[in-house]
A and B are shown apart, each in its own frame.
Chain A
Amino acid sequence: MQRYILGRVVQAVITIWFVSVIVFALARLTGNPLDVILPVEATKEQYEAMAAKLGLDKPLPVQYGIFFMNAVQGDLGESLRFHRPALEVVLGRLPATLELGVLAFLVSLAIAIPVGVYAARHRGTSLDGVARGVAILGQSVPHFWTGIILILIFAVWLRLLPASGKGGIQHFILPAVTLGSVMAAGIMRLTRSAMLDVLGSEYIKLARAKGVRESIVLWKHAFKNAALPVLTFSAVMFVRILTGSIVTETVFAWPGIGRLVVEAVSYRDFPVIQTVVMLMSAMYIAGNLTTDILYAYVNPKIRYRK
């Protein structure tokens, strides 16, 4: 097992390295930060001076070399906009995103799993139908639109909830729902299908034949086995949530990395762009790794494999 994990980690590192190359190149294709930093009246001299100061005058490979050497030592460069280490800037915004993400994640789990299990249990009934319908519908609207509509209804018309910004618990509701909706839909559908597979199996029949109470059959016998694919999916989903935050945070003016990076792109703040992309990739990869380990946890077959 350890060996296996180690191998995966090495892979992950390589992947992240590639990502760094790609995003480094991409970022530089978006334009020249000086065109944002310098006042429009800036002279050629000022351009050159600034370029030199930021090391943008060197050829790209050299620039990457420098970036790489520093990155290895944990220095991802200094934000062109905030004059502080990019990593520091990003990590400063990360909590906001994570809080929102985790909340949305839990909310959607809390909704999706019971509904999914229920739908599978009562498969074919109209309740199942409605549940699926709603779920698919949830996946069918762009979630920035959901967000806009939610603001329109709850903030503008009903005046129940704040439209945006970070603050009291009530600030979390709309963004969390927006962010969670897409994911809840996915998880619900997955739970349902996974449960359907499991409920068909012999050991469920046997459990019932033992006279086990239905709820226990569902949750103890069936769900623990169905949880497997659900977990896999959830980890990936959680990372997708972080990516989704790019839009949601723009809609709700949420001070997280999503908004940070959108502004970083228009500000051509290369270090921040790079940091965020690499961070998200790292999270995605970590997510998958965790999943596999969780797999091992729920599925003894894997756990006991040498």
Chain B
Amino acid sequence: MVGLAAAGRIPKSVSLFRQAIFGPLPTVSLLILFALIGIALSAGWIAPHSPVEGSLRLTMLPPVWMEGGNSDYLLGTDKFGRDVLSRLIYGARVSTSAAFLAIFVTAVFGTLIGLLAGYLGGRVDTVLMRLADIGLSMPGILIALILAVVLGPSFKNVVLIVLIVLWPHFARQVRGETLGVKEQDFVILARSMGVSSWTIMWRHIFPNVMPSLLVLATLDVGYVVILEATLAFLGVGIPPPNPSWGVMIAEGREYLETAWWISVFPGVAIGLTVFALNMTGDWVRDKLDPKLRQI
């Protein structure tokens, strides 16, 4: 970090733009996220139309600013005459709820495994971590694809798939941390006082692995949103007519030339969301634990 040509230069003021986006607090990103959550929650009120009902008579209307656009359908309609805007809005709900639920479940499971492996060590550790290795070594998307065919497309299966594909990440992270924490005096003390393993894991170790867990979670939510979209693209995502963004892109990609708006807007939505999530993730990480930079 040595500024070489530093001599004599007066520090130049930090540009506002940079402050806003890459500054100490990712203002813009957080704004995006809050907006997103707001939209997701209030979808029922703010969406101008139903996300699933449509009329074939209104099929593939362009956005309002293009000629032929209809002011009732700001971002145009899709093949079945459903309002793209409304679907985007409800999509926020579907996609994010799927992503967050999935990441939550995964984190919980992964943490549990990680704690057990790290704390109990020995054979348990070997077995669990070998499993994790296997999990990691298998091509995620492909396994997801196969699972989706096996389980059939549904909201809870998407969550399940994410769980199966992602748990090793969490398990390994938590295990590593646990190994460190469990050698610390307060844990040893607790043990010497005959506190039960569960209590120790829960009361003493878990709080200490929490930060990195949080970081991993925030960083992975974005990935999950993308994974969901990818599944949808491969035709095994959340079943229609539910407007998940992934589904929307998948449905729209056949009409790129004739009706780009169907798949471009959801794509942008995903981009923004995940961008915000990653930014926030980085921020949380740097705040909580710069060591984790390489996750």
Chain A residues close to B by CB (< 8 Å):
11, 14-16, 18-19, 22-23, 26-27, 29-31, 123-124, 126, 128-129, 132-133, 136-137, 139-142, 144-145, 148-149, 151-152, 156, 190, 193-194, 196-197, 199-200, 204-205, 208, 214, 229, 233, 242-244, 246-247, 250, 261-262, 265-266, 273, 276-277, 280-281, 284-285
Contacts and interface: CB of A to CB of B under 8 A. Distances in A.
Contacts of A140: 222, 226, 270-275, 277-278
B146 A26 contact: yes
Contact of B249 (A123, A142, A190, A196): A142
Interface of B: 1-2, 4, 14-15, 17-18, 21-22, 130, 133-134, 136-143, 145-147, 149-150, 222, 226, 229-230, 233-234, 246, 249, 253, 256-257, 260, 263-264, 267, 270-275, 277-279, 282, 293-294
Contacts of B1: 123, 196, 199-200
The dominant DSSP class at the B interface is helix
B294 A142 contact: no
Contacts of B263: 145, 148
Contacts of B249: 142, 144-145, 148
A114 to B, nearest CB: 19
Residue among B138, B147, B260, B294 having the largest count of chain A Cβ atoms under 10 Å: B138
B257 A277 contact: no
Given A132-B22, A214-B4, A281-B139, A137 B275 contact: yes
Given A18-B134, A204-B2, A281-B139, 9 more contacts: A23-B138, A27-B146, A126-B15, A142-B267, A144-B229, A214-B4, A244-B141, A246-B139, A280-B142
B270 A145 contact: yes
Given A233-B294, A261-B142, A142 B137 contact: no
B4 A208 contact: yes
A133 B279 CA distance: 9
A230 to B, nearest CB: 10
Contacts of A247: 141, 230, 233-234
A246 B141 contact: yes
11 contacts: A23-B138, A129-B18, A140-B270, A140-B278, A142-B267, A152-B260, A156-B256, A205-B2, A243-B142, A280-B142, A281-B134
B137 A265 contact: no
A14 B150 contact: no
Contacts of A281: 134, 137-139
Contacts of B234: 246-247, 250, 262
A28 to B, nearest CB: 9
A26 B253 CA distance: 30
B18 to A, nearest CB: 5
Contacts of B230: 142, 144, 247
Nearest to A281: B137
Contacts of B274: 139-141
A129 B19 CA distance: 10
A141 B270 contact: yes
Contacts of B246: 142
A20 to B, nearest CB: 10
Given A156-B257, A250-B234, A136 B138 contact: no
